[in-house]
Amino acid sequence: MKLFEVYQLWDIEPVKGSDTTLWDKNGEVYTDLYGGHAVISVGHCHPHYVKKLSEQLGNLGFYSNAVQNQLQKDLAARLGRICGYDDYALFLCNSGAEANENALKVASFHTGKPKVLAFRKAFHGRTSGAVAATDNPKIQAPFNETANIVFVPLNDLEAVDNELAKGGFAAVIIEGIQGVAGIYEPTGDFLNGLRTLCDKYGCLLILDEIQSGYGRTGKFFAHQHHGVRADIITMAKGMANGFPIGGVLISPAIKPVHGMLGTTFGGNHLACTAALAVLDIIENENLIENAAKIGEFFEQAFKDDKAVKEYRGKGLMIGLELKEEYVGLRNRLLFEKHFFTGAAGAGVIRLLPSLTISQETAESFVKAWKEITV
């Protein structure tokens, strides 16, 4: 059997990793400023992460949600304390799309309403509800088409007001910072305005922090830069450093009902152990502060760079929009200088490195960039 080929792949096969370094099967060394799409939050193969997962695997790898699991309770307690939503409840699942799918369902169950307001260029995942709230017709099958999702431009509060006034909305869903779109931030005024409008029209505010959360922007969640509180927050990616997991934080105003949500694999022993190990490392190594510090360094290094048309983002969620003559730089960074980076179309390079990235590694990237853009 061959693979169902839906991905465009680089002809590189990493076989070993350590922090921000990768080795391919030929022994070539690369520096990873992409983290497998913002997933590697505490570095590849961090010793504490490896130890905790290995120990857990030797004790119990999996049991389903039919029995008590103290690891889930420990994770909820730790996460609540660290992220500042202590009084919220945690539902665990397996991916970002699944987290959003469950968030949309919870909002609809709670309000009894069917519609959702989303934003142009948004990306929320590929399952039915999440992809319907994703503004990209190319990845929506006819089966996913629904009149229940309405898109308006980001940062256009008047458009939001006009739509919500029509009634029937269970939720507004918004990314903390739009990632796949190319790193576009909602303004603080806009987010606070959304909060007010959601309250006015009796719908819930869902913050998709799947890419922008988990400390990446220099706060635990990106929306916390603006002092706004959401009713539901979704997370995944950096949460367990590559072990599949997703989480939904749910306001205490929303009451659970047995059977309302469910999953076979979600919240299993290995996933919770991986997520707890990530929180240990984030706290012990002050990684949120490091994300802010190295982000500031990159901003200073790139904001007036000759190849960069616009520097966008916060902390270690960075979009470098290239001037036209520099489109293609990403491949040169990879093949000539051995740096993995992300992209949004051909014109934007995205930096989504591990929160452990050192000053030295950041400087080596800037040096390599400057050398090929002279």
Ligand X SMILES: Cc1ncc(COP(=O)(O)O)c(C=O)c1O
- At its nearest, how many Å lie between ligand X and the CB of residue 97? 3
C-beta of 160 vs 240, nearer to ligand X: 240
C-beta of 16 vs 37, nearer to ligand X: 37
Q: Are strands 204-208 and 232-235 parallel, antiparallel or unpaired?
A: parallel
Q: Are strands 14-18 and 149-152 parallel, antiparallel or unpaired?
A: unpaired
Which one of residues 32, 101, 185, 208 is an interface residue with ligand X (CB under 6 A)?
208
Which one of residues 69, 72, 95, 361 is an interface residue with ligand X (CB under 6 A)?
95
Helix (H) or strand (E) holding 50: helix 47-59
Instruction: Provide the residue count of the chain.
Output: 374
Amino acid at 272: C
C-beta of 10 vs 335, nearer to ligand X: 10
- At its nearest, how many Å lie between ligand X and the CB of residue 374? 34
- At its nearest, how many Å lie between ligand X and the CB of residue 26? 29
101 near ligand X, judged by CB under 6 A:
no
96 near ligand X, judged by CB under 6 A:
yes
Which one of residues 170, 230, 236, 288 is an interface residue with ligand X (CB under 6 A)?
236
Helix (H) or strand (E) holding 57: helix 47-59
- At its nearest, how many Å lie between ligand X and the CB of residue 236? 5
Residue nearest to ligand X (CB): 96
Work out whether the CA dihedral 301, 20, 355, 250 comes out positive or negative. Answer: positive
179 near ligand X, judged by CB under 6 A:
yes
Amino acid at 242: G
102 near ligand X, judged by CB under 6 A:
no
Rounded Cα distance, 17 and 4, in Å:
27
No. of helices (H) and no. of strands (E), the chain: 11, 15
Are residues 43 and 22 in contact, defined by beta-carbon separation less than 8 angstroms?
no
Are residues 30 and 339 in contact, defined by beta-carbon separation less than 8 angstroms?
yes
- At its nearest, how many Å lie between ligand X and the CB of residue 100? 6
Which one of residues 175, 185, 231, 321 is an interface residue with ligand X (CB under 6 A)?
175
C-beta of 31 vs 211, nearer to ligand X: 211
- At its nearest, how many Å lie between ligand X and the CB of residue 284? 26
C-beta of 90 vs 236, nearer to ligand X: 236
HSE on the CB side for 40, CA within 13 Å?
Answer: 25
| Cα dist from 357 to 34, 241, 273, 360, whole Å | 11, 14, 23, 8
C-beta of 71 vs 239, nearer to ligand X: 239
C-beta of 71 vs 180, nearer to ligand X: 180
- Judged by CB under 6 A, the number of residues near ligand X is 14
Residues 6+ apart with CB under 8 A from 343: 330, 349, 350
- At its nearest, how many Å lie between ligand X and the CB of residue 104? 12
Which one of residues 210, 275, 278, 344 is an interface residue with ligand X (CB under 6 A)?
210
The interface mask with ligand X, positions 110-149, x = CB under 6 A, is -------------xxx------------------------
- At its nearest, how many Å lie between ligand X and the CB of residue 128? 12
Rounded Cα distance, 79 and 279, in Å:
8
6-13 CB contacts, 8 Å cutoff, 24+ apart:
10/334, 12/334
| Cα dist from 359 to 37, 292, 298, whole Å | 21, 12, 10
Tokens coding 20: 């921000």
Other Cβ atoms less than 10 A from the Cβ of 42: the count is: 29
231 near ligand X, judged by CB under 6 A:
no
- At its nearest, how many Å lie between ligand X and the CB of residue 179? 4
C-beta of 101 vs 321, nearer to ligand X: 101
User: How far does CA 116 lie from the centroid of its chain?
Assistant: 20
C-beta of 102 vs 111, nearer to ligand X: 102
C-beta of 124 vs 225, nearer to ligand X: 124
Q: Which residues bind ligand X (CB under 6 A)?
A: 95-97, 100, 123-125, 175, 179-180, 208, 210-211, 236
